[in-house]
């Protein structure tokens, strides 16, 4: 069975972009693939996180994965900091990565822009991501478009390590579907929907109540004209809303155009709010069920044990190739 690995940061609310760009895709893979999904808390602390809030955010992220339909019997769900091999392989790969290539990472440049001081961890963040992926002999990495450059770096590091020290890591492929891998802000269709946006009207959170969803969609910016047609260049705001409609309903873009022909933006937005509510309400219900069941610590512990088994074998392989001490074999560590 091919292996899938992906991660989401526990850094605040999850929004429709995360849901369609990542989480719902993860669910699609769970039948037929051996899936590992990781809550990447070590990535989150590259910027300050309030230690009082972080545990809740980690828990909430895990609960939303489950609420979106991930079945812990079929997939391995775990928290990154519970599996020590991630930080260890990251250091090893930092010694293979170059300062120059990390300086070219656009996400780092964006996040560092205008800041007086950023952590070294923010700079080496893509190397930790490469370690996450390579530790599981991953075949496929489902991510949003913004992560493509990081997966390419991961492939470069794997190739360099393999050619320097001998075949060690499997070469992963990103999985970035053309459609829905970049949901845009509801307030500015030139920007991606992002939880770091200071304007909460720009995104729909997975926990937004119905009336909030209706309000945010009503306030969403539109383009000139009044027709519901999919023209991403000329009508980026409507194209984004149509994308969300298509993802919620499974309808094709021509079907949506036809359905709303002769109708205006107000009608479309009203229907859009309905379909988003229909998509998110069951997720919110399942979130509450999982939270009340108290099963989460058990699910995450089982996940960490399994993740440790797999990743410690790959870490051992890398340490062997490097000639590092294996007096204490990572696969034999008590966990
Ligand atoms: P993040 O919340 O930035 O850690 O992202 C978690 C996952 O959601 C990653 O795979 C991202 O590529 C994806 N993602 C984040 N924002 C969006 C967006 N606006 N549209 C589509 N996918 C997104
Ligand atoms: N960097 C990714 C993001 O911000 C999260 C992430 C960390 C990830 N490790 C990963 C995604 C490994 C895929 C595979 O969205």
Rounded CA-CA distance 259/47 in Å is: 45
The secondary structure element, H or E, covering residue 266 is helix 265-293
User: Do 141 and 216 have their domain in common?
Assistant: no
User: Do 232 and 123 have their domain in common?
Assistant: no
User: Do 280 and 324 have their domain in common?
Assistant: no
Q: Is 6 in the pocket of ligand 2 (CB under 6 A)?
A: yes
**Predicted confidence (pLDDT) per residue in 224-281, tens digit:** 988 999 999 999 999 999 999 999 999 999 999 999 999 999 999 999 999 999 999 9
Report phi then psi at 31, rounded to 5.
-95, 115
User: Do 299 and 160 have their domain in common?
Assistant: yes
* pTM of the predicted model as reported, rounded to 2 decimal places: 0.90
In the block, tokens 């989401």 appear at 8
> Residue 224 is encoded by which pair of tokens?
């000139």
User: Do 306 and 282 have their domain in common?
Assistant: no
Q: Packing angle between helix 210-219 and helix 265-293, nearest 10 degrees? A: 150
> Residue 217 is encoded by which pair of tokens?
């969609």
Residue 194 maps to a domain: no
User: Do 111 and 258 have their domain in common?
Assistant: no
> Residue 13 is encoded by which pair of tokens?
């609310």
Residue 113 maps to a domain: yes
Number of domains within the chain = 2
User: Do 287 and 169 have their domain in common?
Assistant: no
Q: Is 11 in the pocket of ligand 2 (CB under 6 A)?
A: no
Counting residues of the chain whose pLDDT is more than 90, the rounded percentage is 89
**Predicted confidence (pLDDT) per residue in 83-139, tens digit:** 999 999 999 999 999 999 999 999 999 998 999 999 999 999 999 999 999 999 999
Residue 191 maps to a domain: no
User: Do 79 and 44 have their domain in common?
Assistant: yes
> Residue 173 is encoded by which pair of tokens?
């492929």
Q: Which domain holds residue 261?
A: 200-291
The pLDDT of residue 331:
94
Q: Which residues of 120-136 are buried (b: 16+ CB within 10 A; e: fewer)?
A: eebbbbbbbbbbbbbbb
73 is catalytic: no
Rounded CA-CA distance 132/136 in Å is: 7
CB-count burial class (<10 Å; 0-12, 13-18, 19+) for 274: middle
CATH of the domain at 243: 1.10.240.10
Residue 261 maps to a domain: yes
CA-nearest of 13, 28, 334 to 180 is: 28
Residue 7 maps to a domain: yes
Question: Residue 291 above 90 pLDDT?
Answer: yes
The pLDDT of residue 12:
66
In the block, tokens 């492929």 appear at 173
CATH of the domain at 45: 3.40.50.620
User: Do 21 and 145 have their domain in common?
Assistant: yes
CA-nearest of 50, 114, 61 to 296 is: 61
Q: Packing angle between helix 265-293 and helix 236-249, nearest 10 degrees? A: 50
- Ligand 1 pocket: which of 4, 14, 21, 180 to mutate (most atoms within 8 A of CB): 21
User: Do 285 and 301 have their domain in common?
Assistant: no
Identify the active-site residue in 74, 148, 170, 195: 195
């Amino acid at each position: 069975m091919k292996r899938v690995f992906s991660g989401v940061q526990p850094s605040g609310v999850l929004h429709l972009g995360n849901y369609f760009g990542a989480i719902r895709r993860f669910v699609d893979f769970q039948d037929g693939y051996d899936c590992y999904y990781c809550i990447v808390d070590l990535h989150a602390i590259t910027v300050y996180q309030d230690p009082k809030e972080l545990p809740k955010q980690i828990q909430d992220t895990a609960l939303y994965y489950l609420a979106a339909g991930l079945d812990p019997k079929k997939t391995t769900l775990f928290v990154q900091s519970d599996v020590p091999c991630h930080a260890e392989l990251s250091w090893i790969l930092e010694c293979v990565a170059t300062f120059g290539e990390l300086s070219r990472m656009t996400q780092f440049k964006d996040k560092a822009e205008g800041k007086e001081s950023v952590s070294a961890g923010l700079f080496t963040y893509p190397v930790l991501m490469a370690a996450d992926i390579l530790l599981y002999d991953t075949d496929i990495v489902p991510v949003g478009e913004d992560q493509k450059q990081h997966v390419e770096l991961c492939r470069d590091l794997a190739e360099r390590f393999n050619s320097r020290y001998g075949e060690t890591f499997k070469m992963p492929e990103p999985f970035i579907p053309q459609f829905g891998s970049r949901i845009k802000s509801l307030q500015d269709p030139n920007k991606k929907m992002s939880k770091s946006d200071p304007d909460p009207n720009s995104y729909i959170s997975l926990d937004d109540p119905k009336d909030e969803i209706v309000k945010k969609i009503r306030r969403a910016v539109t383009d000139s004209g009044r027709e519901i047609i999919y023209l991403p260049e000329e009508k980026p705001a409507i194209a984004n809303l149509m994308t969300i409609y298509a993802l919620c309903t499974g309808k094709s873009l021509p079907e949506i155009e036809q359905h709303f022909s002769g109708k205006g933006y107000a009608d479309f937005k009203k229907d859009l709010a309905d379909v988003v509510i229909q998509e998110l309400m069951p997720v919110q219900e399942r979130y509450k069920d999982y939270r009340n069941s108290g099963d989460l610590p058990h699910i995450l512990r089982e996940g960490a044990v399994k993740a440790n088994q797999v990743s410690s074998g790959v870490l051992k392989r890398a340490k062997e190739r490097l000639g590092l001490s294996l007096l204490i074999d990572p696969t034999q560590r008590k966990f």
